[in-house]
């Protein structure tokens, strides 16, 4: 801790954290961040002072996402809170990359938002991909790189995602895909063209 002070409510400190952990669906997670740590009334809050590098993987059974790397950036709210076993992560994300083996695809140059937490062990929140490039990683080329946006919502064991992909650079055509995952598998609606 670089600087700290005690007050009536608890402890406030400017510090650097390095954490390796698994929380919720995150496995082999690692983050290094500078910011303000506040401990008060049995609760912990960490507010990052700038973007923090993060890596790990999402364990979703057959639909897992590997080699996730990004930078989580401040939103004005604490990046991480923990109180009475309940946790919450809020951040903007940039420089996102990941491998999605079950789709034989990889994401790069991604940006988005993360608002995810657990109350009494029940996972809930949203993950948004506001921009990103998706490339085919299959043995036989199925598609050229496309631009993608996505909005995923989780409630307990149910994940729902709406994904839109478009051909760059003019994005003349686009396809929308909706998918719902309930452990352990996916139920996907047909993709539909969007204008």
33-43 pLDDT per residue, tens = 999 999 999 99
Q: Is 0.75 surpassed by the pTM of this model?
A: yes
Q: Provide long-range contacts, Cβ within 8 A and 24+ apart, for 13-16.
A: 13/37, 13/38
117 domain residue, yes or no: yes
Rounded to an integer, what is the distance from CA 3 to the centroid of its chain? 30
89 domain residue, yes or no: yes
Distance (Å, whole) CA 156 – CA 17: 29
Retrieve residue 148's tokens: 């993608």
5 domain residue, yes or no: no
The DSSP H or E segment spanning 110 is strand 105-119
**C-alpha distance from residue 113 to each of 36, 70, 95, 105, 127 (Å):** 21, 11, 12, 21, 6
1 domain residue, yes or no: no
98 domain residue, yes or no: yes
Owner of token pair 């005690």: 6
CB 27, CB 56: distance < 8 Å: yes
Q: What is the DSSP letter of 140?
A: S
Owner of token pair 């995952």: 181
Residue 128 phi/psi, 5-degree rounding, is -120, 130
pLDDT per position as a tens digit, 113-168: 999 999 998 999 999 999 999 999 999 998 899 999 999 999 998 889 898 988 87
9 domain residue, yes or no: no
Domain tally, the chain: 1
pLDDT per position as a tens digit, 7-31: 877 999 999 999 998 877 889 999 9
For the chain, the average pLDDT equals 87
77 domain residue, yes or no: yes
Domain that holds residue 167: 51-194
Distance (Å, whole) CA 116 – CA 125: 4
pLDDT per position as a tens digit, 64-77: 899 999 999 999 99
Q: Which pLDDT belongs to residue 172?
A: 61
23 domain residue, yes or no: no
Retrieve residue 46's tokens: 């960490």
């Amino acid at each position: 801790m670089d600087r700290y002070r005690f007050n009536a409510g608890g402890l406030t400190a400017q510090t650097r954290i390095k954490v390796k952990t698994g929380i919720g669906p995150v496995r082999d997670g690692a983050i290094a961040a500078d910011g303000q740590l506040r401990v008060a009334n049995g609760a912990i809050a960490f507010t990052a002072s700038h973007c923090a590098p993060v890596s790990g993987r999402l364990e979703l059974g057959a639909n897992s996402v590997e080699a996730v790397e990004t930078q989580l950036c401040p939103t004005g709210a604490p990046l991480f809170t923990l109180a009475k076993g309940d946790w919450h992560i809020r951040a903007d994300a940039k420089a996102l990359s990941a491998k999605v083996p079950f789709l034989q695809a990889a994401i790069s140059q991604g940006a988005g938002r993360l608002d995810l937490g657990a109350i009494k062990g029940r996972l809930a929140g949203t993950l948004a991909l506001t921009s990103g490039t998706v490339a085919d990683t299959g043995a036989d080329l199925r598609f050229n790189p496309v631009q993608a946006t996505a909005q995923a919502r989780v409630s307990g064991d149910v994940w729902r995602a709406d994904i839109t992909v478009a051909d760059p650079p003019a994005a003349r055509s686009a396809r929308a895909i909706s998918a719902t995952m309930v452990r352990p598998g996916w139920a996907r609606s047909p993709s539909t063209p969007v204008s």
